[in-house]
């Protein structure tokens, strides 16, 4: 079982646009007259690539959940808004054994590439007490 940090992203689009990658590998310009072989990525594909580089730099795993539609289905509550899809993705990653799970929207990326997830959380956390409920219901208090 994994025991580390997972960066999670989800979207209904693939993380890398296959058509663009095929054009780049075959030398097709896709209708442009540019002689450059540079790949143009959509914003979500670029965000995925930047987050993958960030994760690699820090030894994290990237889990990308590609949804079949703009909605999620819940066994008890039926069809849910796409924002609900974050919760099953986080639950699934935790069930795989990750100690830390960080969900990043599919159009977002880490600007501070040198800082780890704990360092970023510490930097932006309010100077107050943090409370966490354990699975057995006991509350632990720690100074931030």
The residues spanned by each domain of the chain are 5-143
Mean pLDDT of the chain: 77
Q: Please give the Cα distance from 18 to 73 (Å, whole number).
A: 27
Q: Please give the Cα distance from 64 to 55 (Å, whole number).
A: 12
Asked if residue 4 has pLDDT above 70, the reply is yes
Closest CA to 31 of 19, 43, 44: 19
Asked if residue 106 has pLDDT above 80, the reply is yes
Asked if residue 27 has pLDDT above 60, the reply is no
Q: Are 128 and 144 in contact (CB under 8 A)?
A: yes
Q: Are 93 and 55 in contact (CB under 8 A)?
A: no
């Amino acid at each position: 079982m994994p025991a580390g940090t997972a960066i999670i992203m989800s979207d209904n689009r693939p993380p890398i646009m296959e058509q663009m990658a095929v054009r780049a590998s075959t030398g097709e310009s896709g209708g442009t007259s540019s002689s450059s072989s540079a790949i143009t990525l959509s914003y979500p594909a670029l965000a995925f690539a930047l987050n993958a580089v960030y994760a690699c730099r820090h030894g994290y795993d990237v889990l990308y959940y590609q949804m079949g539609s703009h909605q999620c289905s819940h066994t008890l509550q039926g069809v849910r808004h796409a924002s609900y899809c974050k919760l099953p993705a986080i639950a699934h990653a935790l069930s795989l054994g990750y100690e830390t799970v960080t969900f990043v929207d599919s159009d977002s990326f880490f600007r501070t590439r040198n800082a780890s997830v704990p360092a970023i959380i510490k930097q932006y956390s309010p100077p107050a007490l943090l409370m966490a409920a354990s699975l057995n219901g006991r509350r632990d208090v720690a100074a931030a």
